[in-house]
Every structure is written in structure tokens, then in C-alpha cells.
Amino acid sequence: MKKPLPGKVDIIDVTLRDGFQHEEMFVPTEAKLWIAEQLVEAGFRRIEVGTFSHIKYVPQFKDILEVLKGLPKREDVEYTVHALNTKACERVAAALEEGVQIDRVLCGQLATSEAYARKM
């Protein structure tokens, strides 16, 4: 039995977070913002921006607050960040108090290996 195709599909772009998080060379804030603008212009309405994890583990996001402040201000675009521990959640709360647009916070993570689980 064939199932009908859905009438609508939501695509969440993860270029800014997952695409950059393991890059060895730091991607400048201006480049991240340019890519975000291009994604919005291309029609993406759900974008994972980055993580508030400690920069020791993901140095690519040492500029997360500056990136959030520079994103296109759009009511029709949902910006998501990751906050995987209490300290990161506190940083999200502080960013919200500064007036940045954060529409969704992902607060959980599953380890993909035993070694990674022990590091977490």
C-alpha cells in the first residue's frame, strides 16, 4: 500500500552549526552572517545557528553571541541553538536578555560512541 506524500515538508538547515563545528580554521563572523543571509534569501525558514557549548570543545562558536546579534531579523525565520548543559542554558538566557532572536533551544544529546559518552 502506497502512502500519500505529505502536503508540506519542513527543512532545517544546519550549515552554520553542524557544517562548521569541526572546521579547524575559524570561520569569521562576517562569513557566517553572509551565509545566514543567503540561506534566508534562498527560502530557508528554520536554521540551526550554533551552540553555546564551551569554546574549549567547539571553538568555532566563540562568536555565537555576535552571530545571533547579526542575523537577519525575521519573524518568519526560526533560529535554533544548542545548549547541552546548565552553563550553556544560562548563556542562552543571558543572550535572550540582550534581545537576540532565539526561537528554539535544543537541550539534549545522544552519544554516538562510548568514548564520546565518557567525554560528555
Mean per-residue pLDDT over the chain, rounded: 92
Indicate whether this model's pTM tops 0.75. Answer: yes
What is the pLDDT at residue 118?
Answer: 67
Q: What's the grid cell of residue 34?
A: 553572509
pLDDT tens-place string over residues 23-79: 999 999 999 999 999 999 999 999 999 999 999 989 999 999 999 999 999 999 999
Distance (Å, whole) CA 83 – CA 60: 15
Which amino acid, residue 103?
D
Q: List domains and CATH numbers for the chain.
A: 15-119 (3.20.20.70)
| 62, 96 Cβ separation under 8 angstroms | no
